[in-house]
Amino acid sequence: MQCSRNSDEYLMAEVARGSRDHLEPLVRRYAGPLLTLIRRLVADPHLAEDLFQDTFVSVWKNRAMFDPTRRFKPWLYRIAVNHCRAAMRRRRLRMMPSGGDAALELAPSREPASATVAAAVETTDRVAAAVAMLPDEQREVVLLRIYDNLAYGAIARIVGRGESTVRSQMFHALRALRRRLEDMR
């Protein structure tokens, strides 16, 4: 894979060679999107920050396993998702419980506004609650596809399933979401 000196893959290839200096730009680059994903998965901001740090500690420890001919982002996200799964097993958490911080993160600000904005906030809350009720595997796929705009192939690599399985989980998740949203009316 040909890549520029600023690309994720180049930086990670340098990290794989032992350069700690090249890890910092990756941490800064993914601080927002990866931390947001982790927060949505575990619904605990303090745990999310710990898991974000654990993810990059794992990146450093497993740097020799990175294949520079592959994309960095799916590799990184798979490490993060695996850390989230392990934390959930340890703490027996439900991913993104309805209400709470996760629903607020998906919802816009609740400042006084017009009826249109209030309806949008209510709809967002309903969608967040419906997403929270999905089985863990479907919720992961929905969050990675909708909120992180990842392709099905990348999601399959991240969650460790086949692409057809990921597509099927997305199909069933969307069907379940439609049913739940209709029931919430």
Q: Is residue 108 domain-shared with residue 125, that is, in the same domain?
A: yes
Q: Is residue 36 domain-shared with residue 105, that is, in the same domain?
A: no
| CATH code of 115's domain | 1.10.10.10
- Number of independent structural domains in the chain: 2
Q: Is residue 63 domain-shared with residue 108, that is, in the same domain?
A: no
Tell me what pLDDT residue 185 has.
67
Once rounded to an integer, what is the mean pLDDT over residues 9-19?
93
Residue 3 located in a structural domain: no
Between CA 35 and CA 180 the distance in angstroms is 28
Q: Is residue 63 domain-shared with residue 114, that is, in the same domain?
A: no
| Per-residue pLDDT tens over the stretch 31-90 | 999 999 998 888 888 999 999 999 999 999 999 999 988 899 999 999 999 998 888 888
Residue 33 located in a structural domain: yes
Residue 1 located in a structural domain: no
Tell me what pLDDT residue 68 has.
84
**CA angle centred on 144, ends 84 and 35, rounded to 5°:** 50
| Per-residue pLDDT tens over the stretch 135-153 | 888 988 998 998 788 899 9
Domain assignment of residue 76, given as a range? 8-91
